[in-house]
């Protein structure tokens, strides 16, 4: 009887170890690129209505779409689960899962649901306008798009009659001509925004 109980206890312990190992392995692979995870932890940051469980990952940025604001090789903290109980705000830096890329992308939120959105012709291209203001990058330079970037965003402007719809966001890098951001893939759904980035 004791031998049978011991076998069951050992089997349960092995199952728990296997499940935890699989989870750790999954998380490790998920964040390998474009970031290299250094440390992780879980924090309960709370919100006004209920607790909010957030997984914090310290990561190294790979790529320069936000340079010089955030440089390749710079360490940041990613707060996974943050947006389960906090609103995404204009100006937030986020990690986004783009279907065309196996890696998470780091971008800035430049437009949120309900914002007025338009493209305005200017010398050399088109400015992106949100709430009647020219959208600028982290260095204060206005975005100036043309070609395919203009075509992509003009479709959203036309289809949504100049208002960013519910659960949709305008995400941009720091390059004024656009990068792999909303100038490439358009407005994004909230479900693709995976984490808030703390610099």
The phi, psi pair for 12, rounded to 5°, reads -65, -40
**Is the pLDDT confidence value at 15 over 70?**
no
Q: Identify which of 145, 140, 105 has the alpha carbon closest to the alpha carbon of residue 126.
A: 145
**In the chain, pLDDT over 70 holds for what percent of residues?**
74
The mean pLDDT value for 48-67 works out to: 84
CB proximity list for 193: less than 8 A, separation 6 or greater: 83, 88, 94, 95, 96, 169, 171
Q: What is the pLDDT of residues 76-104, one digit of tens each?
A: 999 999 999 999 999 999 999 988 778 89
Q: What is the largest CA-CA distance in the chain?
A: 85
Tally of CA atoms within 13 A in the half-sphere of 63 that contains its CB: 17
The length of the chain in residues reads 199
Tally of CA atoms within 13 A in the half-sphere of 150 that contains its CB: 12
| Complete DSSP assignment for 14-68 | HHHHHHHHHHHHHHHHHTSSS-EEEEEEEEE---SSS--EEEEEEEE--S-TTTT
The phi, psi pair for 159, rounded to 5°, reads -65, -35
pTM of the model: 0.76
Q: What is the pLDDT of residues 120-137, one digit of tens each?
A: 999 999 999 999 999 999
The mean pLDDT value for 44-72 works out to: 80
């Amino acid at each position: 009887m004791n031998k049978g109980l011991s076998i069951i206890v050992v089997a349960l312990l092995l199952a728990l170890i296997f499940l935890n190992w699989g989870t750790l392995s999954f998380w490790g692979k998920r964040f390998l690129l474009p970031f290299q995870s250094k440390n992780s932890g879980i924090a309960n940051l709370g919100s006004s209505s209920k607790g909010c469980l957030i997984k914090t990952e310290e990561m190294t940025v790979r790529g320069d779409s936000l340079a010089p604001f955030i440089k390749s090789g710079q360490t940041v903290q990613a707060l996974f689960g943050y947006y389960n109980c906090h609103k995404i705000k204009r100006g937030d830096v986020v990690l986004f899962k783009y279907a065309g890329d196996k890696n998470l992308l780091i971008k800035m939120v430049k437009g949120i649901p309900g914002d007025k959105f338009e493209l305005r012709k200017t010398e050399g291209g088109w400015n992106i306008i949100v709430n009647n203001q020219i959208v600028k990058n982290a260095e204060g330079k206005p975005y100036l798009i043309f070609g395919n970037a203009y075509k992509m965003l003009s479709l959203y402007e036309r289809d949504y009659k100049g208002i960013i719809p519910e659960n949709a966001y305008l995400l941009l890098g720091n390059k004024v001509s656009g990068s792999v951001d909303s100038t490439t893939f358009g407005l994004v759904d909230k479900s693709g925004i995976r984490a808030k980035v703390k610099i």
